[in-house]
Amino acid sequence: MEIVILVSLLSLYCDKTDAECLVISPARLVVKYGDPASSNCSSDTPVQMGWEATQGGTDLTDKEVKSLNWRVDSVTDWNIKPTCYTEGGQCLKQLNITVYKLPDSVSISYRKYPDPMVEKHHYQLQCLVQNIAPIERLRVTFYKVNTTGEQTELDTQQKSKDNIKTPENGIYTLDFTPSRDDDRAQLWCSAMLDLGPEGPQPPPVMESDSLNINVLYKPQITMSPGCFSMSITEGDTLSLNCSANGNPAPSYDWLLPQAAPNATEERSVVTITNMAKSHSGEYTCIARNPLGNSTCTVNVEVTVDYLPIIAGLAAAAVVILLVVSCFIYSSYYKHTRIGHYQLKDMLPRRHKNKQVVHHNRMDQSFM
């Protein structure tokens, strides 16, 4: 107790008389456990000095010197506190030294293994960092990467400063509520030992293996053309695709407005050829799996295309008009042309004309 009080008083004295006190360079060391370390103690004026330490300590020098080096080939004391002092204990300076050790392993797991993991349920993950020092300088980060390769930082944690120098195991937990988008995603954690500017740069980071997650979720229909009303022309083919996302993969059922002999169902697709007016109504798709079901209804209206009918009637009217015209023309031609120019009617007229001409000639001869 008396030694502690003496050291405190001497440190206070040195702080107040810097010109007469010792200078340690570097003033702070960050050393990996088992590595060598060294620092130099110096004074403006020659004094007798020494190093007090559990490793590499030296007695007070016989002669007055202006500097004295402290060196250790392998630091193995987690609580080492090298202190430089002068003759008579007039001044003391302690080297600020941090001894660190990288973790033996970093792993991620479930606190309680889910069987299976279901969307919107709550789970707890843990990141275990084994045998690391000092644990107060450790930062643990949880990450997630989805199937598209997008990485998300979920949380970063750091233990409170408890001034523990020796290696310890650190357990860090994360509350996780998965969604359907997290299916087939990967989770992992990283442990970064940040020892400040005197420590290794960049700070060493050790990552866990990835934890592949499988998330179960009820079906969600992604229907084409969608859950709304639509119209289709009579005689055309109707095809509805009721594809759904779900884990496990969903099964499908269709509710049709009436039994259609020309309807075929193949999993998520229903097809009806040669649609008729009687096929109008609601077409409902049901996608199911053990977690629930999802429905989608499409209201289909079958319309009649009158344009072909009108075109057919117009064509028929044209044909009828042509037939009637031909009949009228044929009847008129026979009556007016063929009836006035028969051969038996033409011959007498020709003889009468010849006689008239003959008499006319005779009359001219008598004159």
pLDDT digits (tens, 9 = 90+) for 204-257: 999 999 999 999 999 999 876 567 788 899 889 988 888 899 999 999 988 888
Low-confidence winner among 78-82, 108-112, 123-127, 161-165 (lowest mean pLDDT) = 161-165
17-40 pLDDT, tens per residue?
444 589 999 999 999 999 999 999
Which CATH number is correct for 218-303, 2.60.40.10, 3.40.50.300, 3.20.20.70, 1.10.1060.10?
A: 2.60.40.10
CATH architecture for the domain at 22-98:
Sandwich (2.60)
Task: Specify burial of residue 227 (Cβ count, 10 A radius: 0-12, 13-18, 19+).
Answer: middle
Please tell me the distance from the alpha carbon of residue 261 to that of residue 284, in angstroms, as a whole number.
18
Q: For 280-285, what is the mean pLDDT?
A: 89
Q: Average of pLDDT values for 7-17?
A: 45
- pLDDT for 308-359, tens place per residue? 667 667 677 777 888 777 777 677 665 555 555 444 554 455 444 444 444 4
Domain boundary assignment for the chain = 22-98, 105-215, 218-303
Q: How far apart are CA 164 and CA 100, in angstroms?
A: 11
What is the pLDDT, as a whole number, of residue 279? 87
310 membership: H or E segment, kind and range: helix 307-333
Domains 105-215 and 218-303 alike in fold: yes
For residues 282 and 230, the answer to whether their CB atoms sit within 8 Å is no
Closest by alpha carbon to 22, among 71, 69, 66?
66
Q: Which fold has domain 105-215?
A: Immunoglobulin-like (2.60.40)
